[in-house]
């Protein structure tokens, strides 16, 4: 079973960052996130990490995101696709662009039921 730490590690790896880099970027002490392998995360810090990666806390906790209707969107696959997407000039998309594309794709997949 994938843990919160595993999801954070995967997100960091997909962005070319180490856990140490993420901890430094967020002003967390060394090994702070490693503790999440076996213990429940602090909700405030979990929100900060989710904001840092531009994902929901539900995603980090391994919960399927819910809408008014149940959906069959694979959010992990969606995030991986966005991680690999490039802008027109061949550079990685900005966080703002990622959020826009994420919203468009979620809307598209939700209406394709």
d(CA 2, CA 84): 22
* DSSP one-letter string for 78-97: HHHHHHH-B-TTSSBPPHHH
Give the CATH superfamily of 4-61.
Answer: lambda repressor-like DNA-binding domains (1.10.260.40)
Q: Tens of pLDDT along 100-113?
A: 887 887 777 766 65
Domain with CATH 1.10.260.40 in the chain: 4-61
Q: Tens of pLDDT along 21-48?
A: 999 999 999 999 999 988 888 889 999 9
Whether pLDDT at 70 is above 50: no
Whether pLDDT at 68 is above 90: no
Helix H, strand E, coil C: the string for 36-59 is: HHCCCCCHHHHHHHHHHHCCCHHH
pTM confidence score? 0.55
Q: What is the pLDDT of residue 73?
A: 65
Where residue 69 falls among pLDDT bands split at 50, 70, 90? very low
Crossing angle of helices 75-84 and 95-111, rounded to 10°: 140
């Amino acid at each position: 079973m994938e843990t919160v730490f595993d999801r954070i590690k995967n997100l960091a790896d997909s962005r070319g960052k180490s856990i140490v880099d993420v901890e430094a970027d967020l002003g967390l002490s060394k090994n702070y996130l490693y503790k999440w392998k076996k213990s429940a995360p602090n909700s405030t810090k979990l929100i900060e990490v989710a904001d840092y990666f531009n994902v929901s806390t539900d995603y980090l906790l391994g919960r399927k995101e819910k809408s008014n209707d149940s959906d069959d969107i694979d959010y992990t696959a969606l995030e991986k696709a966005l991680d690999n997407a490039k802008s027109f000039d061949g550079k990685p998309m900005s966080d703002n662009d990622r959020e826009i594309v994420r919203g468009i794709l979620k809307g598209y997949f939700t209406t394709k039921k």
